[in-house]
Amino acid sequence: MIDLHSHILSALDDGAADVAASIEMARIAVGDGITHMACTPHVVPGKYENSVSTILPAMHTLQAMLDAQSIPLTLYCGADVHVAPDLVERLRDGEVPTLNRTRYFLLEPPHEILPPRLEDFANRLLESGFVPIITHPERLLWASRHFDVVQRLADLGCPLQLTADSLTGGFGAAARQLTERILNEGRASFFASDAHGVSWRKPVMSGARAMVAERFGQEVADQMFHDRPAAILADAEPSAVLPSSRRTAGAPASPGLARRLADRIFRADRIFRNG
Ligand SMILES: [Fe+2]
């Protein structure tokens, strides 16, 4: 499995408490079947002032530690980016990292209140050549009341990332219901752990993957826990990342496209990640 949303790096946000916790999180992830993980600390103006210059060195340092201990987890650079007025400029400048330097990045909308003109903001990002991945819409407190906004964001071409723990019940009944609604409507692109530590909110996704496989079939589970995340890391066209019902007419993804892209990136990933 590939996990594109984690707070495994220590001392940058509210994720791993220290380096020992980072390494333990990596061990838990590998034990669960996760082979590749994006390090995505919060980027919140005034609170977590992270940028490429803080995240990339921390990622390389942790990767060296994992390699030294023969923990087979490959890390990528990314960020969990909050809404900010100058975001397009900071993405363009390369100050705010996208996922593995691709067009895709994690956009975390505010939890409590639906920000005004969120769809316009997403549109502006898309027109600028970036693809905002909406993180855990099922956990946003406003999402059930304004579900039409979530639907329209997906319809605009923003991939929706669900949280594995939301499906298995770790975030309560409301989050689980919204997860199932998004899945049943065919609007989910992929799952991630959004792991923050070693006790609860761990980097574990196998339970959710089994539930998706049981309900929707193995192929859908592969897409949501491996193939689409791999396509994102390879900067593939959105047609390989979005669920089929959300693809624009005339842009169908060939069945094996995401898998072939996955093979290609994993052969080249060491080069890819040296930026
Ligand atoms: Fe997060």
Give pLDDT tens digits for 41-79: 999 999 999 999 999 999 999 999 999 999 999 999 999
CA 16, CA 19: separation in Å to the nearest integer? 7
pLDDT of residue 267: 47
C-alpha 195 – ligand 1 centre gap (Å): 7
* The predicted structure's pLDDT at residue 74: 98
Low-confidence ranges of the chain (pLDDT < 50): 247-255, 267-272, 274-275
Helix, strand, or coil here: 18? coil
Per-residue pLDDT, 14:
96
Q: What pLDDT, on a 0 to 100 scale, did the predictor assign at position 200?
A: 83
| C-beta pairs of 165-173 under 8 Å, 24+ apart in sequence | 165/193, 165/194, 165/201, 165/204, 165/208, 166/136, 166/138, 166/139, 167/191, 167/208, 167/211, 167/212, 168/207, 168/208, 168/211, 170/200, 170/201, 171/138, 171/139
Calculate how far, in angstroms, residue 226's C-alpha sits from the geometric centre of ligand 1.
19
> What's the 252 CA to ligand 1 centre distance in angstroms?
30
Quick one: fold of 2-272?
TIM Barrel (3.20.20)
Domain ranges of the chain: 2-272
Q: Note the pLDDT of residue 244.
A: 79
pLDDT at site 56:
97
Spacing, Cα 254 to ligand 1 middle (Å): 31
Q: What is the pLDDT of residue 252?
A: 40
CA 46–ligand 1 middle distance (angstroms): 17
